[in-house]
Amino acid sequence: MPADQQPLPSVWARPRKEREQPALSQKHIVAEAIRLLDEEGIDALSMRRLGSRLGAGATSLYRHVANKDELFELAVDEVYGEVTLPEIGDPAGWRGTVTKIAHELRAAFLRHPWIAAKLGETGLAYLGPNVLRRSELMLALFESAGFALAEADRAVHTVTAYVLGVAATEAAWVSMVARSGQSEQEWAERLWPAAERAVQDYPRLRARYAEQRAGHISDDNEDAFEYGLQRVLDGLESRLRATG
């Protein structure tokens, strides 16, 4: 079969088949896969392991999900479904609405830290209904604020890239802490001596580390995320004024 006629390797690109298996639905499979990923991480997920948790053989799972890549696509879209999508109100309040969505998306990624490692490997995950609903709402939001559709699309990508970039780093930290079996503060206290020794010859870094050690990591991360997000929105607002 010619390459351009090959079916696309994505759960969103093939026709859905309805099957009468109420005890083992696709939704049930995805929910259990997310629980497994949250509890034990990416390396723990296999169709055999998941089937065991569901009390079913791997063959039964393949009736609903073609392979593990499709399972990840479904899981990613389910996480995006946790993001509350507000109504678009006064166009003048677009920054506040974008800020709310960005914080909700970050929170969803931190609840499921495995997702940051998979977003670049999930094929056509961006065709999932929850991802599409979020993208459509954000496009409408930026368009209502005054951006042309093409530029609204770039604005959405800019904000999303910022959230994903920051959340990926934070998620890596969350996963490392989880593997340690300690609290975030306990793990940080173990790391501080080595970190402080490493920056002894770098006065600005040394000063920043000293300041950060006096605070709480989660609070500092939240403040840093909000600072960067607002600077991104400053740039978009400036662009809007220049083209308005």
Residues 40-81 have pLDDT tens digits of 888 899 999 999 999 888 788 888 988 888 899 899 999 999
Alpha-carbon distance of 42 to 115, in angstroms, equals 9
Q: What's at 165, amino acid-wise?
A: G
For the segment 89-94, the average pLDDT, to the nearest whole number, is 91
Query: What pLDDT shows up at residue 5?
Result: 62
Q: Is the pLDDT of residue 15 over 70?
A: no
pLDDT digits (tens, 9 = 90+) for 93-145: 999 999 999 999 999 999 999 987 777 665 556 788 999 999 999 999 999 99
| Residue 151 and residue 35 in one domain | no
Q: Is the pLDDT of residue 20 over 50?
A: no
pLDDT digits (tens, 9 = 90+) for 163-172: 999 998 888 8
Range of the domain at 177: 86-243
What percent of the chain shows pLDDT beyond 90?
45
For 43-51, the CB contacts below 8 A with 24+ separation are: 45/71, 47/71
| Residue 145 and residue 208 in one domain | yes
| Residue 72 and residue 144 in one domain | no
Alpha-carbon distance of 11 to 8, in angstroms, equals 9
Q: Is the pLDDT of residue 233 over 50?
A: yes
| Residue 74 and residue 96 in one domain | no
For the segment 147-170, the average pLDDT, to the nearest whole number, is 94
Q: 58 or 240: whose pLDDT is higher?
A: 240
* Domain termination site, one of 27, 61, 79: 79
Alpha-carbon distance of 171 to 232, in angstroms, equals 21
| Residue 130 and residue 13 in one domain | no
Q: What's at 41, amino acid-wise?
A: G
In DSSP notation, the chain reads: --GGGSPPSSGGGS-------TTS-HHHHHHHHHHHHHHH-GGG--HHHHHHHHTS-HHHHHTT-SSHHHHHHHHHHHHHTTS--PPP--GGGHHHHHHHHHHHHHHHHHHSTTHHHHGGGSTTGGGSHHHHHHHHHHHHHHHHHT--HHHHHHHHHHHHHHHHHHHHHHHHHHHHHHHHTS-HHHHHHHHHHHHHHHTTT-HHHHHHHHHHHTS-HHHHHHHHHHHHHHHHHHHHHHHHHHH-
| Residue 29 and residue 103 in one domain | no
Q: Is the pLDDT of residue 231 over 90?
A: yes
* Domain termination site, one of 35, 54, 79: 79
Average pLDDT, the chain: 86
Q: What's at 36, amino acid-wise?
A: L
CATH code (residue 102): 1.10.357.10
Question: 21: alpha, beta or left, given left = phi > 0 and alpha = psi -120 to 50?
Answer: beta
Alpha-carbon distance of 131 to 6, in angstroms, equals 25
φ, ψ of residue 33 to 5 degrees: the values are: -60, -40
Query: What pLDDT shows up at residue 230?
Result: 98
Q: Which of 226, 230, 221 is nearest to 170 (CA)?
A: 221
